[in-house]
Structure 1
Amino acid sequence: MTTQRPVRQAADLAMFGGGRAVPRELRIKAWPVVTEQDEQAVQRVLRSGRFTSASSGEQEIAGLEREWAEYVGTEHCVAVSNGTTALSIALSAAGVGPGDEVIVPALSFIGSAIAPLHLMAVPVFVDIDPVTFNLDPAALDAAITGRTKAIVVVHLHGLPAELDRITAIADRHGIAVIEDAAQAHGARYRGRAVGSFGALNTFSLNVSKNLATCGEGGLITTDDADLATKATMLRQFGELIPAHGERSYVAHLLGWNCKPNAIQAAFTRSRLKRFPAEAGIREDNVGRLLERLAEYPGFLLPEVPPDRTHAWHILRFRVNPAEFGLADEFAGPLRAVVQRALRAEGVPAAPYQLQPLPAQRVFDGIKAFRAEDFPATLRVLDDSFALQKAHLHPESGQLLARYADAFEKVWRQRDGLAAYATTAAYKPHWERASEIADEEWAAAFPQR
């Protein structure tokens, strides 16, 4: 690897020995913000002695369900143990079972695709739109077969997918839409909140999410009373458990044990009171960051169509090789070099997902992964990096301003970084992921 030329041209970059753009003492603030009101909500549960949905007279879980349904604009909400179980229960309540096909975008968190697998259904992966990073409606239409039972519509990073086009396709074929809004709390599509379009819709309350609990949690929304009842049964052994009175212990359906936790429900209820205000501050902070970065055309910024809003759970940036004076073939190496340069400056730039979902080993045996089936997904994985968590805290403005300084510094040294990108050894991380998997497995099971 030759580094002499770029070191000489970009000596003030931190990766080549210069000072950092982001001072070390300026750190990411802890998330979620825990207030005295949150602590009091938890204490309230501890004093009540009612800790799960199986506790007769429990109020916090029912309260969260009522308040989130009102916020989203649906008739019903069912709380469960986490976002992945929410998706499994929603699919099961919609009638998905063994052998059914469930369409899933090729770029998402693993939970979007293992939920159908847990039901012995078959995930069918489709490519994404390279601008929104969400499911491509044209690819969706082409993937539907006579066995397709449901479509998992992921609003990746917090940007709503093309819901009108997707629901129109689903309606034409008589297929259920299940929104996976795990990263999109509060985002709106044409004036309506996400989580109100599908037959059933799911949210995660993981501690990392915009609306977080103090651990894990999930929510299912629907306008269908029967589906809500079925989802409530499926979360707890298939039983019909009364809000008050004796439990019969009769299992009417094959359900799970995915009961929500009352402490976590109370914590989320407390945070929900601040959620709109925090989302508004986040919108302002992220907006200022993106306004700064728009001055540097080598970075392709997240785009938000005028008919929707973004929850800004994750920020994904792509590099534009042409603006660095490079041919398109250097997109991946350039991303790797720029990512390294930003990290050295103090910006926690990193990949979000190393490989397409269909390339994950858990799906071996379903259908052989072919790179040519997912060109947009692979390109986005190759030429993009993400920022997570740093922008969630309402007081992140100063930190994001320094991040913008780091982007500017990297952009000013683009010639040196471009030269470095043309000489550095490189392998796409979606290919490297297989080697990482081998190494992890060997370390975990050295005798196998």
Structure 2
Amino acid sequence: MIPFLDLKAQYAGIKDELDAAVLAVLGSAQYVLGDEVARFEAEFADYCGTKHAVAVNTGTSALHLALLAAGVGPGDEVVTVPFTFVASVSAICYTGATPVLVDIEPTTFTMDPERIEAAITARTKAIVPVHLYGQMADMDAINEIADRYGLAVIEDACQAHGAEYFGHRAGSMGASGCFSFYPGKNLGACGEGGIVVTSDDKQAEMLRTLRDWGQSKRYHHVVKGYNYRMDGIQGAVLRVKLRHLERWTEARRAHARRYSELLADMPHLRKPVAAVGRRHVFHVYAVRSPDRDRLRLALEAEGIQTGLHYPIPVHLQPAHADLGYVSGDFPEAEAASREVLSLPLYPEMTNEQLAIVAAALEDCLHVA
């Protein structure tokens, strides 16, 4: 069996560091926020090249608070994409604003800047590009449009820890950037976690207030806030893992290059493309095939786990039928949802495992 992801292998590699960090938090009894979370915030802000980082309990909470801190609320519209995890759209709904969707580029799976202006109205308040699968969206083009219309850009970087756009780290090119530390992410907690990064002092202050019941200080509630605080143990875990992130990222990138070499002679399989100037960190290695579902079943029969990210775009989810979109509205997103298949990819994979996956995939493609 080759798993899609092997978190046990990751833990085995850093067990002593991780155990010591968790035990230290238990000894300190700083279970919510506290010193370890504050240190992680400073270290992650430095990693992203931003002035501030505000840790929260999930990536969804990060998106929600970033939107609120940017002034998004009822009556507003926010432009984002349909080919993403549902949280990108749900967080907009939480604010009372209306998500307005635009299609993706077929090669990068990220927001197509050429479709943004047609979606902008007098009610548009922000744009949320999603850095999908570990690759950043075309931020120069998106920021140029946002600047022209006076819109906030909030980066959904939940899958893009350490990704870059012409040398700029994910999260550093908008008003704020949001990350998830769900365990399967490139930088994952031992549980849930999220963070917002920003270089705007006022936004950082508002984010810190909103995540802790709207308090400016204890029992002084200046705005209606939320209980979105990060646990102390997750702060300690993430500090340990952050020290290994670049090594893990380069392993992912090396594995992705090896996959692309092994799959090079399979013309009916489209491999992921890293756009010029972008550092792709390969949260997933997603291939495309019109025969995706058969390939997935055939690989499963060979003991190879795969993933589907995402088989139903957000606009066709029953939960978001109220947005009023129908099949055919976003052809690129819909085609991707039918064709994309994520292959096993994690830093601890061996060259032998990569070769086994590639050989099995080739065999499956040759079976009509």
* TM-score for the superposition, normalised by structure 1: 0.79
> What does the per-residue CA deviation read over 1:106-152, in whole Å, with 9 as the maximum and x for residues that have no partner?
10001000001011110111111111101111111210111011111
Once the two structures are superposed, the pairs formed by residues 202-241 of structure 1 within 5 Å of their partners are: 202-241=178-217
Would the alpha carbon gap of residues 394 and 178 (structure 1) be closer, same or farther in structure 2, given more than 3 Å must change?
same
Deviation at 1:27, TM superposition (A): 4.8
* Residue of structure 1 equivalent to 2:288: 318
Aligned length: 364
Once the two structures are superposed, the pairs formed by residues 158-197 of structure 1 within 5 Å of their partners are: 158-197=134-173
SS in 1 for 2:20: helix
> What does the per-residue CA deviation read over 1:316-366, in whole Å, with 9 as the maximum and x for residues that have no partner?
1112xxxxxxxxxxx3xx232233222222332342222111122222323
**Is the CA contact (8 Å cut-off) linking 1:77 and 1:219 kept in structure 2?**
yes
SS in 2 for 1:229: helix
What is the one-letter code of the residue matched to 1:362? A
Is residue 2:220 matched to residue 1:250?
Answer: yes
Match 1:265 to one of 226, 232, 235: 235
SS in 1 for 2:177: strand
SS in 2 for 1:260: coil
**CA distance, structure 1, for counterparts of residue 4 and residue 120 of structure 2:** 43
**CA distance, structure 2, for counterparts of residue 395 and residue 302 of structure 1:** 19
Is residue 2:62 matched to residue 1:92?
Answer: no
* Residue of structure 2 equivalent to 1:18: none
Would the alpha carbon gap of residues 377 and 172 (structure 1) be closer, same or farther in structure 2, given more than 3 Å must change?
same
* Residue of structure 2 equivalent to 1:303: 273
**CA distance, structure 2, for counterparts of residue 183 and residue 396 of structure 1:** 23
Is residue 2:78 matched to residue 1:102?
Answer: yes
* TM-score for the superposition, normalised by structure 2: 0.95
**Is the CA contact (8 Å cut-off) linking 2:287 and 2:341 kept in structure 1?**
yes
**CA distance, structure 2, for counterparts of residue 288 and residue 160 of structure 1:** 21
Once the two structures are superposed, the pairs formed by residues 46-65 of structure 1 within 5 Å of their partners are: 46-53=26-33, 58-65=34-41
* Residue of structure 1 equivalent to 2:320: 363
> What does the per-residue CA deviation read over 1:69-91, in whole Å, with 9 as the maximum and x for residues that have no partner?
00000000000001000000000
**CA distance, structure 2, for counterparts of residue 143 and residue 395 of structure 1:** 42
Match 1:151 to one of 127, 131, 144: 127
**Is the CA contact (8 Å cut-off) linking 2:18 and 2:237 kept in structure 1?**
yes
**Is the CA contact (8 Å cut-off) linking 2:4 and 2:307 kept in structure 1?**
no
> What does the per-residue CA deviation read over 1:202-258, in whole Å, with 9 as the maximum and x for residues that have no partner?
0001111110110000010001001000000000111124xxxxx3x1111111110
**CA distance, structure 1, for counterparts of residue 138 and residue 5 of structure 2:** 33
Match 1:403 to one of 353, 357, 365: 357
Match 1:382 to one of 338, 343, 348: 338
CA RMSD of aligned residues (A): 1.4
* Residue of structure 2 equivalent to 1:199: 175
Deviation at 1:289, TM superposition (A): 1.3
Deviation at 1:285, TM superposition (A): 1.6
Match 1:373 to one of 329, 333, 337: 329
Deviation at 1:47, TM superposition (A): 0.4
SS in 2 for 1:372: coil
**CA distance, structure 2, for counterparts of residue 302 and residue 45 of structure 1:** 41
**Is the CA contact (8 Å cut-off) linking 1:65 and 1:79 kept in structure 2?**
yes
What is the one-letter code of the residue matched to 1:138? E
SS in 1 for 2:216: coil
**Is the CA contact (8 Å cut-off) linking 1:29 and 1:393 kept in structure 2?**
no
Once the two structures are superposed, the pairs formed by residues 6-21 of structure 1 within 5 Å of their partners are: none
SS in 1 for 2:220: coil
SS in 1 for 2:262: helix
* Residue of structure 2 equivalent to 1:278: 248
**CA distance, structure 2, for counterparts of residue 117 and residue 95 of structure 1:** 14
Would the alpha carbon gap of residues 362 and 289 (structure 1) be closer, same or farther in structure 2, given more than 3 Å must change?
same
Q: Which has the larger radius of gyration?
A: 1
Deviation at 1:399, TM superposition (A): 1.6
What is the one-letter code of the residue matched to 2:23? Q
SS in 2 for 1:400: helix
**Is the CA contact (8 Å cut-off) linking 2:181 and 2:194 kept in structure 1?**
yes
What is the one-letter code of the residue matched to 1:351? L
SS in 1 for 2:127: strand
Is residue 2:56 matched to residue 1:80?
Answer: yes
* Residue of structure 1 equivalent to 2:310: 353
**CA distance, structure 2, for counterparts of residue 397 and residue 45 of structure 1:** 37
SS in 2 for 1:78: strand
**CA distance, structure 2, for counterparts of residue 182 and residue 335 of structure 1:** 25
Is residue 2:79 matched to residue 1:123?
Answer: no
SS in 2 for 1:128: coil
> What does the per-residue CA deviation read over 1:5-39, in whole Å, with 9 as the maximum and x for residues that have no partner?
xxxxxxxxxxxxxxxxxxx4x55663162221011
What is the one-letter code of the residue matched to 2:268? G
* Residue of structure 2 equivalent to 1:19: none
* Residue of structure 2 equivalent to 1:442: none
SS in 1 for 2:348: coil
**CA distance, structure 1, for counterparts of residue 244 and residue 128 of structure 2:** 29
* Residue of structure 1 equivalent to 2:16: 36
Gaps of 5+ in 2: none
**CA distance, structure 2, for counterparts of residue 268 and residue 98 of structure 1:** 34
> What does the per-residue CA deviation read over 1:165-188, in whole Å, with 9 as the maximum and x for residues that have no partner?
001011100000000000000111
**Is the CA contact (8 Å cut-off) linking 2:3 and 2:305 kept in structure 1?**
no
* Residue of structure 1 equivalent to 2:345: 391
Structure 1's consecutive aligned runs of 4 or more residues displaced over 6 angstroms after TM superposition are none
**Is the CA contact (8 Å cut-off) linking 1:104 and 1:123 kept in structure 2?**
yes
**CA distance, structure 1, for counterparts of residue 3 and residue 230 of structure 2:** 33
